[in-house]
């Protein structure tokens, strides 16, 4: 079967690759959200009170755990190709507004 440069099949292949990349990014974000949720639920139970985002970082056991939490928030707030993908909870620079100084 002959192949023509930049034909409809090429367009479909590009769109499919973009869709798969976007889907992978959403799955990664959902997994990071689930990990943060689990950590927050455990911390809330331990403190026996509602949490703020700052609590998550303030009550980290050590610098390693704080770095892991920051890596999760970075995954949650990663900007999509077109610059959308940030929720109102996100502060400047696309980072989750934790109020914590790292």
pLDDT band at 6 (very low <50, low <70, confident <90, very high): confident
pTM (predicted TM-score): 0.69
Which conformational region is residue 12 in: left (phi greater than 0), alpha (psi within -120 to 50 degrees), or beta? Answer: alpha
Query: Following CA atoms 46, 47, 53, 56 in sequence, which dihedral angle do they give, to the nearest 10 degrees?
Result: -50
pLDDT-wise least confident of 18-27, 69-78, 84-93: 84-93
């Amino acid at each position: 079967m002959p192949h023509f440069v930049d034909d409809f099949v090429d367009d479909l292949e590009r769109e499919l690759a973009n869709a798969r990349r976007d889907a992978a990014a959403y799955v990664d974000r959902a997994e990071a959200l689930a990990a943060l949720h689990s950590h927050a639920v455990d911390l809330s139970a331990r403190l026996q009170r509602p949490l703020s985002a700052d609590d998550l970082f303030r009550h980290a056991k050590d610098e390693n755990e704080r770095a892991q939490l920051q890596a999760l928030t970075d995954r949650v707030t990663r900007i999509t190709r077109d610059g959308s993908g940030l929720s109102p909870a996100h502060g400047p620079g696309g980072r989750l507004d934790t109020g914590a100084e790292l």
